Structure 1
Amino acid sequence: MTGANPGFEGMDPAQAGQEMARWAEQLQRKAQTFQQLQQRMTHLTATATSPDGAVRVTVDSQGVPTELTVTERGRGGDPAALSAQLMACLTSAQTQLSGQVQELVQDTVPEDDPSAERIVGSYRDRFPDQAETEPEAGGTGVLDVGRIEDEEPPSAPPPRRPARTDTDDDEDGWGDQSILR
């Protein structure tokens, strides 16, 4: 009797009262379980460090970075390489977090509870396993969105817009007349 409608119809009032009390106890236990889970989840963090130790990233229980560190080993390094290491560490930390959430949910919530799978699934969807996000062979795995390339300036300047004339003011068809008349 754990559904939204515990099915008290057709019972005698005494039996329905007992069933309702049991149902309320089950809901109370479930609420306490999820409250405990929430409290434990808020304390989760995950940290990942690059293989060469140049970069370290820590994320909180929501997967938000709380620490981005470039160590002495990373100083003077190639900015693109450091950026790629930071992103790889962020992904690794978030993947670790997803695993921690799965373990915590399994340890806290009964296995048959559909809410448990939804919680784990939401973390799995937001932070997929690194193997699922690896670039294809030959790819760099780096999206240079917004990156400014070192290019030669264009040979011809862009065409200039013609200078405004007094007739441009009459584009709306009102001429020199006020629209407030």
Structure 2
Amino acid sequence: MVAQAKQKAQRYRAMQQAVEQVSVSAASKDGTATVTVDSAGNVTDLRITDRVREMSGTQVAKAVLSALRTAQAKLPDRLGEVMAETIGDDPQTRDTIVGSYRAKFPEPEPEPDETGPGARIGRLADEPEAASTPPPPQRPQPRRPPPPDDDDEGFGGPVMIRE
């Protein structure tokens, strides 16, 4: 029994080390951005092609975010594979951990068809429309002087006064 517990602990240490080494990469649909994430879903590499010179900032951002979400959504499957290799006899632990990753990194929403109904011609559908006139500048509010000291030992007046 002690030997089995030691073997199980050793497999779990091996699983933890293997999981820490996991990284997943994914590219945007148009191939302009490729993102690599580590086992926690953090970006460890970002590659962008020169085609972005012909794209708007919004299009570049969408490509990067698309690749990031796709890479993160691949994590649960990759971690499930690593865990099956190291602790294959414990599907409950594997399913629990993989399930928490699926909740944290769900499959990305399908991107709307830019040419279908509702698409705007000449610009991306989620780009803000140009404002016809800029908003007026905000005027700073004048500072009010502190109330006079009326021997009430600070009761009834402001608690904190900026100076």
TM-score (norm 2): 0.71
What is the deviation of 1:124?
A: 1.1
Q: Does 1:109 align with 2:87?
A: yes
Q: Which runs of 5+ in 1 are unaligned?
A: 1-21
- Report how many aligned residue pairs link the two structures: 145
Aligned to 2:134: 153
Q: Deviations over 1:13-47 (max 9, x none)?
A: xxxxxxxxx1x222211111111111111111111
- The two structures, once aligned, show a CA RMSD in angstroms of 3.3
Structure 2 counterpart of 1:174, from 134, 137, 149? 149
Q: Deviations over 1:116-173 (max 9, x none)?
A: 222111211111123xx33688789x9x7xx98642224x666774675xxx432xx5
Task: Give the conservation status (yes or no) of the 8 Å contact 1:53–1:73.
Answer: no
Aligned to 2:58: 80
Aligned to 2:30: 52
What is the deviation of 1:111?
A: 4.1
Residue 107 and residue 162 in structure 1: after superposition, are their counterparts in 2 closer, same or farther (change >3 A)?
Answer: closer
Aligned to 2:110: 134
Q: Which runs of 5+ in 2 are unaligned?
A: 155-163
Identical-pair percentage: 30
Residue 97 and residue 161 in structure 1: after superposition, are their counterparts in 2 closer, same or farther (change >3 A)?
Answer: closer
- Is the helix fraction higher in 1 or 2? 1
Q: Give the distance between the partners of 2:17 and 2:118, measured in 1 at CA.
A: 41
Task: Give the conservation status (yes or no) of the 8 Å contact 2:29–2:63.
Answer: no
Aligned to 2:42: 64
